[in-house]
Amino acid sequence: MMEVVRTSTALLPLRWVFLGCLVWCGGASFEPARSEAKDEPKVARPFERAPDPAKRPGPDADLFVEGLELQKKRKWMSARKRFWKLIDKYPDSPYAAEAEDRSGPNAFLGFRAMGDIGPSERRIDVALMGDGYRIQKQDRNDKHCEGQLKVLLGESLYATYRPYFNFWQFSLASEDKGVDEPEAPEPDEELRERQRRRGRKKKGPKQYNTALDCKAAGPQGQVWANPRRVWHYLQYLDVHDSLAIVFAQMGRLGMGGMGIATTGPRGVVVHEFGHAFLGLLDEYANNPGKPSGFVNAPNATTSPDNPPWKHFLDAKVPGIGVYEGGATFKKGVWRPAPGCAMNSGGGSPYCAVCREAGLLRIYERVSPIDQAWPPEATVQVEAGAPLPAFRVLPMQPSGHRLKVRWILGAAAQLTESATDDDEVEGQGDEDLDPFEKRMRRLRRLRGAKGTKGKAGRGLPTPIGFRPGIQRRARGTAGTPLPKGTTLKSRAKRVKGVGRVDIPKLPSDLPVGRHVLTAIVWDPAKPKGAKRPWVLKDDRGLLEDRRAWIIEIVASSEGR
């Protein structure tokens, strides 16, 4: 579902937002290579990624590869000439469209990883894109990009969970370095008559040709990028989360929504990313009126008697209360804290409520289990033979470790269909044994709500109960685990992998089926924190499980 674009730092009525999104998303501009005309109509020019040159060789592929290598060496002009040569000599080449996109007045120059990265399938990928930087000024783009990331990581939530993110710097060349001015309101009849008598001509708003087509939107000229342009360049990432931080060289203030946080070069990125990624609302109040509808977000509500952060009030967390004024309205909306990054330009840290909402949003995309071995859900071993190595690799925040617990218990008899992802045809729940019922219920829940992260972050569907655990300030409560024995385990650092957790399994498992379950949970209490960052986790996002069926069969010698 499309998010509503939200403002930062200044009031922007919702009618401005909807109008801006509907109009501004309607036109994207990808001008032909070497076109100098600035008055051409802005129309979307979709293109297909070029094929793999190794699979489709030829002289056009050679020119394309040469251009790519020159871009990697940051020899922008030389790369542009190679692409131009390719387009002129081989206009029908499958490489021509991408070559044009990499060499036009507004050009994609490549991307690079910013710091350590992990597998994109199990990380949150965020692209940082600069707008209004000419091809000769990419060093300035680099500096401002590093500055944006430094400001973002100044917020403890992103600094602590930095390993959960991949940040990518996109190098984009723009023909101009401005931000489009908004359309001026039409003058009244009396003003038009005075202008006519004085011989003055109406001046239109200044328009610029830039890679992301940034526009000054709203009453205070908050900068906003064209989403179609952003999504166009995101196609260069094979796997991504539709998240981008855009900074316009000539922009000011900012806006956030639809996964895009737009700011100026010294912008309010923590605040805008709170809109774009975390789904938070503004906590400042500039509008003297009341909202016409219902407001219910993690950090803003029109129901002060039962706010979404009531569990913080019950836990008597210092600084958290119910303060009138929020979502830009002075009356009729309440917020959780007097100070927060969502109540300023981002200079303040997130309040406890926003930080909890942010961490839960992170775990919507990332599983606490990074990897698990073996990949098979069922392992068959002859009695007396050594068991395979079972282990899990938890995610690793900065400053604290995730908890790992291993449970070994007997497994109910499973039919072949009970381990399939498809429903058992012609068989109702009433005909299934309790274990199969739990398996079916888990598949239904995951199918209805989707897997956590992108494609389940590559993890097989776990066997066992859905966690559904609430985390409170003291103690835990939730659904029981299958009956079994809690095993001791040890953490071991594996070269090239990380710190894995390995259970100490008994060597004399009897013949039959056994369930080995690894439960990984983030206590969400970084070093130095007085209390956990998450007090309530209704959906069990901080916890994930991986389970294996260990089937011990009689040895062939004893048969």
Last residue of a domain, one of 245, 276, 307: 276
Question: In terms of domains, do 162 and 263 share one?
Answer: yes
User: How many domains does the chain fold into?
Assistant: 3
Residues 304 and 238 in one domain: no
Task: Assign residue 202 the CATH number of its domain.
Answer: 3.40.390.10
Predicted TM-score (pTM) of this structure? 0.79
- Does 303 share its domain with 239? no
Question: SS3 of 206, please?
Answer: coil
Grouping H, G, I as helix, E, B as strand and the rest as coil, residue 470 is strand
In degrees, rounded to 5, the angle at the alpha carbon of residue 244 between the alpha carbons of residues 239 and 249 is 140
What is the pairing mode between strands 6-7 and 107-113? Answer: unpaired
Domain that holds residue 192: 6-29+106-276
Burial (CB < 10 A; 0-12, 13-18, 19+), residue 321, is middle
Q: Is there a domain that residue 422 lies in?
A: no
Chosen domain end from 249, 276, 303: 276
Q: Is residue 82 part of a domain?
A: no
* Cβ proximity of 262 and 214 under 8 Å: yes
- Distance from first CA to last CA of the chain, Å, rounded? 59
What is the identity of the amino acid at 461? T
Output the six-digit token pair for 316: 């008597």
Q: Mark whether 398 and 328 lie in a shared domain.
A: no
pLDDT in tens, the chain (559 residues): 333 333 444 333 333 333 333 333 333 333 333 333 333 333 334 567 999 999 999 999 999 999 999 999 999 999 999 999 999 999 999 999 999 999 999 999 999 999 999 999 899 999 999 999 999 999 999 999 999 999 999 999 999 999 999 999 999 999 999 998 876 555 567 766 666 666 655 566 789 999 999 999 866 788 999 999 999 999 999 888 999 999 999 988 889 999 999 998 877 999 999 999 999 999 999 889 899 889 999 999 999 999 999 999 999 999 999 999 999 999 999 999 999 999 987 678 999 999 999 999 999 999 999 999 999 989 999 998 999 999 999 999 998 999 999 999 877 543 333 333 333 333 455 555 444 554 454 444 433 333 334 444 333 333 333 333 323 222 233 345 556 888 999 999 988 888 999 999 998 899 999 999 999 999 999 998 999 999 999 988 999 999 999 999 987 765 5
Pick from 487, 516, 554: nearest CA to 376:
516
Residue 467 and residue 519 in one domain: yes
Whether 253 and 291 map to the same domain: the answer is: no
User: Residue 111: which of 264, 236, 249 has the closest Cα?
Assistant: 236
Do 482 and 537 reside in the same domain of the chain?
yes
Distance CA 262, CA 216 (A): 11
Closest C-alpha to 290, from 328, 322, 323: 328
